[in-house]
Structure 1
């Protein structure tokens, strides 16, 4: 089966999504879509895409997940062509998630996990209460109309999610620990993430001058002389903000020339060098800029502040735990994949799956 076969066989479900997503603007072909067939006797002849340890993922399984992924993305395609493009984009990750879930569910069954009638009823009661659903009949109607599912379909979905979750809780989270030594090592190796960068606040006075001094040398010299005289006024005791408000040609004159605060590592190197040579209240030499001649005053400089380890200990634990959990999950999945017998019925889907998985593994190795 080729990619075109997969795309063509998805068209009915794609049009169903179009009806939901596009509403009144959906193409005419999507106005009255045929709902997916849920008759289990007919699913026997469905196209099988992959077998995992004997369990199958069918075309309908994939389509249902594609529909859900597109709806969850919040993207609203305006044409069927755009919708089909979305289908192609989500398929690798959707397929990988389906295979991973199947591996987790199988492991859960091996461990004896199951969804009891009581657990399922409790789940339904909570779901109905949270969504303001008053009766079982109303819930079943909503399930059919909005999701195209029967109660048995929904139970199978809930059971898959529960088994996968339990396996991750026991088999993955049980492997993850963060000691004080490891937390300290994480802190030391990520110290920049726990550092408040230095920031600087300045005041400026700008005396406008020709952008090209050579084009009007007399006007440029006049502006330079005025700027030097203004600087002398400040050095002789006049408040910088008062002088800025009186003579500056910059918009900042309205607030006494105040600019900032800025993170010091985000300002131009020439400004950093200038600031390094000033104390708070200090005034720079006259400097040429595109706007004209500029005089700066250092209003405030706050150096880097490193947050103490004890202050960020819980934050570190959460970060490190999250990273370690993801690493443990990938390792666990690798073990399941290594033990699994996977039979692909489509080379194109297999290649898409393997390329996606290789990208995920590469991304994990770079963390």
Structure 2
């Protein structure tokens, strides 16, 4: 008896043997941890023929399926890593791939139980649409139709069992709006002018510091900011009297933004040092951040809440499928 036959016999025997492992879902990441332990032993060169990786109820997941799904990730990882780090990342990818294959089998089984079929015509239409979008696929390859049918089935069962049971109430959207108001705010806006002094070299830094301090003192005595910027600024905006124009919160580097926080219109910062040089900045105008009205962002919030509830419901659904399933990992 060859190894493939032996593994197949073992798998079916284990389904009927009392006391055998009945894997329970402990969450997506719990599965990964379990699988990582099971992936510790590398497959020897003598055992590369197809064999069983996992049993999911009455379905088998074969090594060939795992290798097919894992191939793109392996190629990407081999370009980025080597040695022990490569081996560790490949094992993590293997664990994730097995988890995805198990979940796919469970979803396809759920679709079959619900009688969610995909017609040949739907498959043909999907393939033609993919071609129109520029995807290179061989419509004469039977594997193409099988893969497309499978993907359409998965979409259909998730639509029914997950998205189809979700409703978003207005009260949920209003609560989300109150809890995430910062997300729906227009940022604070500034009209700024600056004088920039650039040290020409490391030795020139002390001289530049002295120039900046002298300019700051002159400004505090009431000298024209625009005039000093025209004469002494090294910035690209010097010819405009140092006017930077409109700047929104988050667009400045943090040290400059921090210097502006407590200032009012007409105020001037102390000397602020950045990699570009020494800055003296004036706030010419300031517009506080404004919150977008609820009615204006209602549709956006509905989409965000629906997405979050979809993710939560998907996890609940998958946990239920795993809890009710016989799953044995042989990888």
Q: State the TM-score, normalizing by the size of structure 1.
A: 0.63
Q: Of residues 38, 54, 77 in structure 2, which corresponds to 1:50?
A: 54
Q: Distance in 2 between matches of 1:46 and 1:294?
A: 67
Q: Is the 8 A contact 1:207 1:227 kept in 2?
A: no
Q: Distance in 2 between matches of 1:256 and 1:170?
A: 63
Q: Is the 8 A contact 1:101 1:160 kept in 2?
A: no
CA separation of 1:129/1:249 partners in 2, compared to 1, >3 Å: closer, same or farther?
Answer: closer
Q: Of residues 94, 99, 112 in structure 1, which corresponds to 2:97?
A: 94
When the two chains are superposed, the root-mean-square deviation of aligned CA atoms in Å is 4.0
Q: Is the 8 A contact 2:212 2:271 kept in 1?
A: no
| TM-fit CA distance, 1:7 | 7.2
| TM-fit CA distance, 1:223 | 7.2
What corresponds to 1:228 in structure 2?
Answer: 217
What corresponds to 1:183 in structure 2?
Answer: 173
Q: Of residues 271, 289, 303 in structure 2, which corresponds to 1:304?
A: 289
CA separation of 1:306/1:9 partners in 2, compared to 1, >3 Å: closer, same or farther?
Answer: farther
Higher helix proportion: 1
Alignment of 1:106-185 (within 5 A): 106-127=109-130, 139-140=139-140, 143=141, 151=142, 153-185=143-175
| TM-fit CA distance, 1:160 | 2.4
Matched, 1:337 2:306: no
Larger RCO (CA under 8 A, 6+ residues apart): 2
What corresponds to 1:284 in structure 2?
Answer: 268
Q: Distance in 2 between matches of 1:345 and 1:121?
A: 36
Matched, 1:198 2:178: no
Q: State the TM-score, normalizing by the size of structure 2.
A: 0.69
CA separation of 1:254/1:76 partners in 2, compared to 1, >3 Å: closer, same or farther?
Answer: farther
Unaligned ranges ≥5, structure 1: 12-44, 144-150, 347-367
3-state SS of the aligned residue for 1:77? helix
- Per-residue Cα deviation, 1:111-139 (whole angstroms, up to 9, x for no partner): 12233334334444545565599xx9x74
Q: How many residues align?
A: 282
3-state SS of the aligned residue for 1:178? coil
Which deviates the most, 289-298 or 188-197? 289-298
What corresponds to 1:261 in structure 2?
Answer: 247
- Per-residue Cα deviation, 1:184-207 (whole angstroms, up to 9, x for no partner): 111111111111221323223467
Q: Distance in 1 between matches of 2:326 and 2:229?
A: 77
CA separation of 1:9/1:161 partners in 2, compared to 1, >3 Å: closer, same or farther?
Answer: farther
3-state SS of the aligned residue for 2:117? coil
What corresponds to 1:272 in structure 2?
Answer: 261
CA separation of 1:241/1:226 partners in 2, compared to 1, >3 Å: closer, same or farther?
Answer: closer
| TM-fit CA distance, 1:104 | 0.5
- Per-residue Cα deviation, 1:18-49 (whole angstroms, up to 9, x for no partner): xxxxxxxxxxxxxxxxxxxxxxxxxxx83111
Q: Is the 8 A contact 1:46 1:59 kept in 2?
A: yes
